[in-house]
Chains A and B, each alone.
Chain A
Amino acid sequence: MNKLLLKLAMLPAAVYRNMGADIPQLTALLEVKLMQDDRKPMTFGRARKQKKDQKNGVWLNVFLSLVTGVVYLMPLIAMKNLVFSLWAFYTLFLFMLSFLLITDFSNVLIDTRDKTILLPRPVNDQTLFLSRILHIFIYLFRLLLPMSLPGWVFLSMAYGWKAGFFFVIPLLLMVSIALFAVNGFYLLLLKLAKPERFKEVINYFQIAVSVLLFASYYLLPRVMNSAAVAGMTQEQFPWIRYFPSYWLASCWTWVFPGTGMAGSGWLSILAVVFPLGCIYATVKWLAPQFARNLGGLDAVELHTAKIKKQNREGFYKKLAYLVNKNDEARAGFMLAWLQTSRSRSFKMKVYPSFAYVPIYFAYLLFNRDQSGSDVWHMMVQKKFHLVLIYMSSFSMIQALNYLSISDQYKASWIYRALPVETPGKIMGGAFKAIWLKFYLPFFVAISVFILAIWGVPAISDLVLGLMNVTLFSLILMLMGSRTLPFSTVEQLSNSAGRTLRVFGAFFIIGLFGFGHYMAVKFWMLKPLFLVLSGIALWLVWDSYSKSDWNAVKRAEDEA
């Protein structure tokens, strides 16, 4: 696929040469960039095995893009008016394309190794600039083709060959708008954010996008099924005419007249003029300026970046002394506290899970085509708060799971070099840090919501739930994750044994949840379960915090 795309991209080689590019160098640069794209780990936690050559990597991406394309079909299916449904389709597409460019591609665009590897070589600015732009185009094309395929097929079937033929034109115009938006976003960020914060901001943006993706996969089909959406018309929302996505949709009035709002003809002209202006602005100003600003990123970073002052330095240390009895546990607590604040990959994998819980809860609630008041009654009467309490364990599991994983896992030699007799103490300290830093605040937020809806009687459920989730998390650690903090590499953890353990874990949490549900039905069971859970918690904690080196070694071997 790469070879084909490269050939296509290099078709106007004469034009590139006229622009001052060195064609053999440009080809070499693109080949290497594409090769690296195929081998780089994917975002959103989908890490690829690093040692194996991933020939299927491209096709996996194609498949995932295809699935995303199916989600975009929803407005086309649900809405009656062609232009209006296409407005929703292009809006979704444009947003997702821009977001993916920013998130999935930011590491490629901001590959600071380029500075050391490419800048000392005899490669001129035009060649570097074109390689960057063509690389983005090829990347977009690889995303766009499978993503747009479902829409293409649907529109061709629903509106005939004319639609199938015309589909490509607004899509290409959309790509230039996305490119402009992304370059503009980066430049704005480079202007507004301090260089040392640049990557951090991108990181948070990636987290937001992964949440958005998750939400759209789960909630969009629910919303689009609703009868209210089907009845919507573009005349009810006249403001959509100010969106480029509506201008793109208006182009369809050229082949299907009368489907747009009044003035759609003029808007469709904008759909052509605006993207052409975007291309010009991107090539002329945005991209070169972006490259220049990016070039300066490292130098500024090196000389002006300072370690952010830890305003709450005293707080985590005080907490470490407050909740831990020995120095090993305090060390584990502090390490986990600090590393989880600074590790980019930890944030990427764990932070979105806090948003997944409410999203999935909403997904479960809006399972049927019910009115808001029906859903409300069902939620209150059917004790849905228990579902929310036990679903919150997902965030805890995710945080604990990534507590042991690090890109710098080799740095864990330190544990073995130190005179630590019981590694369980370090692990226990790290567990407490995760529990206090991530789970407790999240649980408090959930509790506020639950108390607001279910009232004071839910307090006992919250207490039992908190104990059970903590117990369950500890059992999970005991079963297979008796590893030291940040001491394993991610790919090692993706083993079959781990999958089995995850299934086992879900069985256990299901069991706990069922027991709790029974305790709600028969009130006398609740105090009993509270006592039993407390005893079990104490026993499991004791075993976990006393884990010896043999247990750690076994867990590492099994991982």
Chain B
Amino acid sequence: MEPIITIRNLSKKYGDKTVLNNINLELFPGQIIGYIGPNGAGKSTTVKILTGIIDDYAGEVIVAGKELRAHVLEIKRMIGYVPELAELYDLLTPREYLSFVGRLYHLPEALIAERSQKMMDSFGLGSNMDQRMDSFSKGMRQKVLLISGLLHNPSIVILDEPLSGLDANAVIMVKELLQVLKQEGKTIFYCSHMMDVVEKVSDRIMLIDKGNIIANGTIAALRADTNDSLEQIFAKLTATDDLQDRADAIATVLQNKDNG
């Protein structure tokens, strides 16, 4: 099978700081890729490069056989992106916002209206279609963000902490949705700190730390012969000291304070 995304020797620096260091990856259609790493590891920078937000990087990114920088608009049309921060034009209503987003993808008005209403209904926000989003809760904003990322039916979906702020039912629904999208042949690039979810939904895990990919494979392969959970594997590969020691240190600080 041909990879849908190929990343070759990708590097990115902010000033003197190297954020991505010669990364090489291949992502295949119909897969959910869990992209994990500690804070500041380079996850968001990878996502920003893949979505065309950052274009001053070294290396090569090929999406569906096309080089990203040379065909950025075509590639953007294939991608649906849900950013980590729920950035929306929140003075608008969901109807207005989704109509705006749909028009940027040249979707017909009727289709935008139909898809928006149905997806909003599915997320339980059907009655909030004409309410300004500045009054929305974090979860409600996140749902609108998810809808806006899927509205144009993209073949690649890039999700950065998509479950942030969602209630339990919505979380289950999104997890189900990911499986359906996968079965339809879409590639899902899933960034998250929620290890249990990543472990459950992903076909492949990629672990980035300090700008380097330090693990890449199925959860079974990462486990090798151990029975470790993804959380434990993550801690082993990325933590500089023993986390239990750190927790003890915090508790000691509190005890000293009380005694003092």
Judged by a CB distance under 8 angstroms, whether B132 is at the interface is: yes
Give the CA-CA distance A465 to B96 in the complex, in Å: 55
The minimal Cβ–Cβ distance linking A127 to chain B, given in whole angstroms, is 9
Judged by a CB distance under 8 angstroms, whether A493 is at the interface is: no
Say yes or no: B52 contacts A120, CB within 8 Å: yes
Return the chain B residue nearest A296 by Cβ.
Answer: B56
Give the CA-CA distance A124 to B74 in the complex, in Å: 11
- Bitwise, A109-151 to B at CB < 8 A (1) or not (0) is 0000101111111111000000000000000000000000000
Judged by a CB distance under 8 angstroms, whether B250 is at the interface is: no
Give the CA-CA distance A149 to B101 in the complex, in Å: 38
Contacts of B74 in A (CB 8 A): 122
Say yes or no: A124 contacts B73, CB within 8 Å: yes
Contacts of B17 in A (CB 8 A): 303
Judged by a CB distance under 8 angstroms, whether A319 is at the interface is: no
Give the CA-CA distance A323 to B87 in the complex, in Å: 43
Q: Which of B14, B76, B101, B104 contacts A303 (CB 8 A)?
A: B14
Query: Closest 10 CB pairs between A and B?
Result: A28-B103, A303-B14, A122-B76, A120-B51, A39-B91, A116-B87, A120-B81, A119-B53, A121-B104, A122-B73
Please report the total number of A residues contacting B with Cβ < 8 Å. Answer: 30
- Bitwise, A260-302 to B at CB < 8 A (1) or not (0) is 0000000000000000000000000000000000000001101
The minimal Cβ–Cβ distance linking A418 to chain B, given in whole angstroms, is 17
Judged by a CB distance under 8 angstroms, whether A50 is at the interface is: yes
Say yes or no: A119 contacts B52, CB within 8 Å: yes
Say yes or no: A116 contacts B85, CB within 8 Å: yes
Say yes or no: B14 contacts A300, CB within 8 Å: yes
Judged by a CB distance under 8 angstroms, whether A343 is at the interface is: no
Q: Which of B89, B96, B104 contacts A122 (CB 8 A)?
A: B104
Chain B residues with CB under 8 Å of chain A are: 14-15, 17, 19, 51-54, 73-74, 76-77, 79, 81, 83, 85, 87-89, 91-92, 96, 100-101, 103-106, 132, 134-135
Residues from 13 to 46 in A contacting B, C-beta threshold 8 Å: 24-25, 27-29, 31-32, 35-36, 39-40
Say yes or no: B88 contacts A113, CB within 8 Å: yes
Q: Which of B15, B91, B92, B106 contacts A24 (CB 8 A)?
A: B106
Say yes or no: A120 contacts B106, CB within 8 Å: no
Give the CA-CA distance A25 to B102 in the complex, in Å: 10
Q: A28-B104, A299-B54 are in contact. List 6 more A-B contacts (CB 8 A).
A: A25-B106, A31-B100, A32-B92, A117-B89, A119-B51, A122-B73
Say yes or no: A120 contacts B53, CB within 8 Å: yes
30 contacts between A and B (CB under 8 A): A24-B106, A25-B104, A25-B106, A28-B103, A28-B104, A32-B100, A35-B91, A35-B92, A39-B91, A39-B92, A50-B135, A51-B132, A113-B87, A115-B53, A116-B53, A116-B85, A116-B87, A117-B87, A118-B104, A119-B51, A119-B52, A120-B53, A120-B76, A122-B74, A122-B76, A122-B105, A123-B73, A124-B73, A300-B14, A304-B15
Say yes or no: A117 contacts B52, CB within 8 Å: no
Return the chain A residue nearest B47 by Cβ.
Answer: A120
Return the chain B residue nearest A121 by Cβ.
Answer: B104
Contacts of B89 in A (CB 8 A): 32, 36, 113, 117
